[in-house]
């Protein structure tokens, strides 16, 4: 068995796959595929995520990929909204949907007791016939009107989690407004969903490996992935699984300053996140209202947080930066202000 990888080597390997050691010339669709999927419960983060990873990225290129349905925004990992390639959404959605529904059932508890969820899901699916686009409130109102005695809010959420729905771009600043509607993803893409659990795990390792079974479970939102991992031709580094030909640069490889958006998947992809954020800082990563903060990477590790204030990027460092680090952070913040502000 190959020798164990150090924490720093794990970090460099993941940064390489996340296109964070050097900006890539990939187009937006190929980049999203390389990254597995991008966290996208809010509309802006995927744009910043790609700006930080691609050379000459333009927001218009991502707008166009969403408009022509090469990329879609829908519920995937951990029951949260992600940006993914159309073909990946169709392969992964049927694998991940049961996990999202199971997790939500645990959250809502007895509020779903007595409801015929299968019938509710079938009824909601009919509302999306012929390419209809509906808001979450409209789905809830339909449940309230047609399924008396059931908790309309809970049943509507469970139905939305169960169905392969995507968000319809509606011309917001970042392709979507907060009121963007859902539509049937299979109709939107003109193809049926077909599960591919092995492809999903391979894509996860290609984007975030090397990784343990716990890491896979963390990112995908539960499930037992041991049999899938055992069925793939993988390398082992102690408890870590990896694709044989995946990049694993040495720990001395330079990692430039990078700004990552709120909820970036790099910060959510592992049970043990010490490869990208020190354990001492992890508690500060998530706010009281469960927002995962936008971060600044210095030498491959989280060294601060950032936010937009009056169209300018403001940095909150976690440690005193050396003079060269500070100059690099200031320069990248200036460039990001011009893009996102």
* Model confidence pLDDT, tens digit, residues 262-319: 999 999 999 999 999 999 999 999 998 889 999 999 999 999 999 999 999 999 999 9
Q: How many of the other CB atoms lie within 10 Å of CB of 226?
A: 11
Domain end among 150, 173, 189 = 189
Residue whose entry in the numeric block shows the structure tokens 């808001």 = 135
Asked if residue 263 is part of any domain, the answer here is no
pLDDT band at 39 (very low <50, low <70, confident <90, very high): very high
How far is it between the farthest Cα atoms of the chain?
A: 65
Asked, for residue 203, whether it belongs to a domain, the answer is no
Do 28 and 130 reside in the same domain of the chain?
yes
Tell me, yes or no, whether 285 and 155 share the same domain: no
CA–CA gap between residue 129 and residue 104 (Å, rounded): 25
Q: What is the pLDDT of residues 62-120, one digit of tens each?
A: 999 999 999 999 999 999 999 999 999 999 999 999 999 999 999 999 898 888 999 99
Structural domain includes residue 125: yes
Specify which residues 84 forms β-bridges with: 72
pLDDT of residue 115: 86
| Residue 180 domain boundaries | 21-189
Give me the sign of the Cα torsion angle 323, 306, 168, 205.
positive
**146-204 pLDDT, tens per residue?**
999 899 999 999 999 999 999 999 988 999 998 999 999 999 999 999 999 999 999 99
Helix or strand run (H / E) with residue 305: strand 301-309
What tokens were used for 159?
Answer: 């139905």
Sign of the CA dihedral 167, 69, 194, 76?
negative
Domain final position from 189, 207, 235 = 189
Q: How far apart are CA 38 and CA 264, in angstroms?
A: 7
Tell me the CA distances in angstroms from 290 to 97, 179, 305, 309, one per residue in order: 22, 21, 15, 20
Whether residue 291 sits in one domain with residue 143: no
For residue 225, being part of any structural domain is answered with no
Per-residue pLDDT at 143 exceeds 80: yes
Instruction: Kindly state whether residue 36 falls inside one of the protein's structural domains.
Output: yes
pTM: 0.94
Do 29 and 178 sit in the same domain of this protein?
yes
Question: Are the C-beta atoms of residues 38 and 73 closer than 8 Å to each other?
Answer: no
Residue ending a domain, among 168, 189, 210, is: 189
Based on the fold, state whether residues 163 and 283 are members of the same structural domain: no
Residue 206 in any domain: the answer is no
Q: Does residue 304 contact residue 295 with C-beta atoms inside 8 Å?
A: yes
Residues 307 and 177 in one domain: no
User: Is-contact 33 27, C-beta < 8 A?
Assistant: no
Q: 165-195: b or e for each residue (b if 16 or more CB lie within 10 Å)?
A: bbbbbeeeebbbeeebbbbbbbebbeeebee
Residue 294 shares a structural domain with residue 183: no
Q: Is 250 buried (19+), middle (13-18) or exposed (0-12) by CB count in 10 A? A: exposed
| β-sheet bridge partners, residue 72 | 84
**Tokens 């990254």 found at:** 35
In a domain, 78, yes or no: yes
* Count of domains for the chain: 2
Statement to judge: residues 45 and 168 lie in one domain: yes
At 1 the pLDDT is 46
**pLDDT reported for residue 2:** 55
**Residues 286 and 144 placed together within one structural domain of the fold:** no
**For residue range 212-239, what is the model confidence (pLDDT) as tens digits?**
999 999 999 999 999 999 999 999 999 9
Q: Do 157 and 50 belong to one domain?
A: yes
Q: Are residues 294 and 185 in the same domain?
A: no
Q: Is residue 194 part of a domain?
A: no
């Amino acid at each position: 068995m190959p020798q164990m990888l150090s924490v720093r080597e794990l970090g460099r390997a993941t940064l390489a796959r996340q296109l964070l050691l050097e900006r890539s010339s990939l187009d937006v669709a190929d980049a999203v595929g390389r990254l597995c999927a991008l966290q996208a419960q809010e509309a802006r983060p995927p744009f910043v995520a790609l700006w930080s990873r691609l050379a000459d990225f333009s927001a218009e290129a991502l707008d166009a990929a969403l408009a022509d349905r090469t990329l879609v925004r829908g519920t995937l990992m951990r029951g949260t909204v992600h940006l993914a390639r159309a073909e990946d959404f169709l392969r992964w959605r049927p694998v991940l949907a049961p996990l999202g529904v199971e997790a939500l059932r645990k959250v809502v508890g007895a509020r779903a007791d007595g409801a015929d969820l299968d019938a509710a899901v079938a009824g909601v699916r009919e509302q999306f016939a012929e390419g209809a686009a509906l808001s979450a409130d409209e789905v809830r109102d339909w449940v309230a009107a047609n399924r008396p005695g059931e908790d309309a809010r809970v049943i509507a959420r469970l139905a939305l989690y169960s169905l392969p729905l995507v968000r319809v771009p509606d011309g917001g600043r970042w392709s979507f407004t907060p009121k963007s509607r859902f539509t049937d993803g299979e109709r939107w893409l003109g193809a049926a969903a077909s599960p591919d659990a092995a492809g999903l795990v391979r894509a996860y390792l290609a984007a975030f490996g090397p990784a343990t079974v716990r890491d896979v479970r963390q990112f995908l939102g539960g499930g037992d992935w041991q049999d899938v991992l055992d069925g793939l031709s993988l390398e082992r580094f102690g408890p870590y699984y990896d694709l044989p030909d995946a990049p694993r640069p040495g720990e001395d490889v330079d990692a430039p300053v990078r700004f990552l958006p709120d909820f970036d998947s790099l910060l959510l992809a592992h049970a043990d996140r010490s490869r990208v954020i020190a354990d001492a800082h992890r508690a500060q990563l998530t706010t009281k209202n469960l927002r995962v903060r936008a971060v600044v990477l210095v030498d491959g590790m989280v060294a601060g947080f950032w936010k937009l204030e009056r169209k300018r990027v403001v940095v909150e460092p976690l440690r005193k930066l050396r003079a060269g680090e500070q100059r690099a952070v200031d320069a990248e913040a200036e460039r990001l202000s011009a893009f996102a502000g």
